[in-house]
Amino acid sequence: MGKNQHTPLYKALFNNLKKQIDAGHYKIGELLPSENELCKEYGTTRPTVRQALSELIKLGYINRKHGKGSIVSEPKNGLGILSIKGSTAGVGKNNFMTKILEKSVKMAWPENFPYELNDVQKQAGCIYFSRLRYVNNAPTVYEETYITDIDLPRFVSHNLEKNSLFETLTKYHNIEIKEGEQKIWAISASQKISKILTLKKNLPVLHMKRSLKTNHNDVIIYSFLYCNTEEYFIQDYF
C-alpha cells in the first residue's frame, strides 16, 4: 500500500482501494473484501478500515448493504480544484486538458485588486495569465491567476497548457506552496463567464478566490476560478 509518513493510514488505504476500483480490479456491483479481510490484508485495525470505506462512500465509489458488505457502485465525477496539489488531483490527467486563453505577461497589479498587497509586491508587479480547463472535452473551469513577479526569471516562457503551474514553480524556480486561503460561493454567471463555459447567461457557477503563500515571503499566488458544476462536484485532496 503506497503511503508516506505524512499520510494517515486510512487515507493510504482509501487511495489504494480507489485506484483498484478506477483500474477495474473491483467492478461495479462486486463486493469489496470484508472488513476483517481488509484488516488482515493491510495489517491495520477495523476503525481504520471503516474510515477508509466511509471516504469511498462519500465519493460514491461504494454502497454499504447491511448483511452483505461494501458493493462497488458507479463513482461520481469529482474535481480536485480545492487541492493545493493542483486541479488534476481529483480528475485524472487522461480526462483533463488545459487551454491558455491569455498568455503569461508581466504587468502592474490591477487597480482595486481584491487582496491587500505589501510594498514589495506593489513595486515588483505581477505575472498574469488565464486558462480554461476541460474535463472530457467540456469547458469546466475558467481560471485567472496573478503571481508576484519576484525570482521568476523567464517564467513567461513556460508552457502551462502541458505542465502543472505548481510543478513548474517547484522545478524551475524553487517556489513551493506552503499554505493558503480559499473563499467559495455560488454566483450568477456573467456574460463573459457564460460564453467561456458555454452556459446560458445568469446560470449559477461556483466562484472561488484563493491566495496561496509560498516559501518566498513575498511571492503569493492569487487565483480567481469559475467552475461549472452541472456535471461535477468539488472534492478535497489536501
Residues 51, 27 share a domain:
yes
Q: What cell does 103 get?
A: 498568455
Count CA atoms within 13 Å of residue 109 on its CB side: 21
Segment 59-76 mean pLDDT: 82
Residues 122, 101 share a domain:
yes
- The 8-class DSSP code of residue 154 comes to T
pLDDT for 221 equals: 97
Q: What is the pLDDT of residues 186-221, one digit of tens each?
A: 999 899 999 999 987 778 899 999 999 999 999 999
Report the alpha-carbon distance of residue 101 to residue 196 in Å, rounded. Answer: 10
Q: What percent of the chain has pLDDT over 90?
A: 59
Residues 46, 136 share a domain:
no
Boundaries of domain holding 224 = 78-234
Residues 173, 102 share a domain:
yes
| 226 vs 234, residue with greater confidence | 226
Residues 136, 56 share a domain:
no
Where among 44, 72, 100 does a domain terminate?
72
As to burial, measured by CB atoms within 10 angstroms (0-12 exposed, 13-18 middle, 19+ buried), residue 19 is: exposed
Q: What cell does 28 get?
A: 461495479
Q: What cell does 115 get?
A: 487582496
Has residue 235 got a pLDDT over 70?
no
Has residue 48 got a pLDDT over 50?
yes
Dihedral pair phi/psi, residue 17, rounded to 5°: -65, -40
Where does 23-154 have alpha helices with state H?
Answer: 35-42, 46-58, 119-124
Q: Tell me, what CATH number does 112's domain have?
A: 3.40.1410.10
Q: How many domains is the chain partitioned into structurally? A: 2
Residues 212, 153 share a domain:
yes
Which amino acid is residue 7, in one-letter code? T
Report the alpha-carbon distance of residue 76 to residue 82 in Å, rounded. Answer: 17
Q: Are strands 78-79 and 233-234 parallel, antiparallel or unpaired?
A: parallel
Has residue 127 got a pLDDT over 70?
yes
pLDDT for 238 equals: 44
Has residue 57 got a pLDDT over 90?
no
Which amino acid is residue 73, in one-letter code? S
pLDDT for 163 equals: 86
pLDDT for 230 equals: 73
pLDDT for 237 equals: 46
How confident is residue 5, by pLDDT bands cut at 50, 70 and 90?
low
Q: What cell does 198 get?
A: 458555454
Beta-bridge mates of residue 182: 210
Residues 115, 52 share a domain:
no
Segment 119-128 mean pLDDT: 98
Has residue 1 got a pLDDT over 80?
no
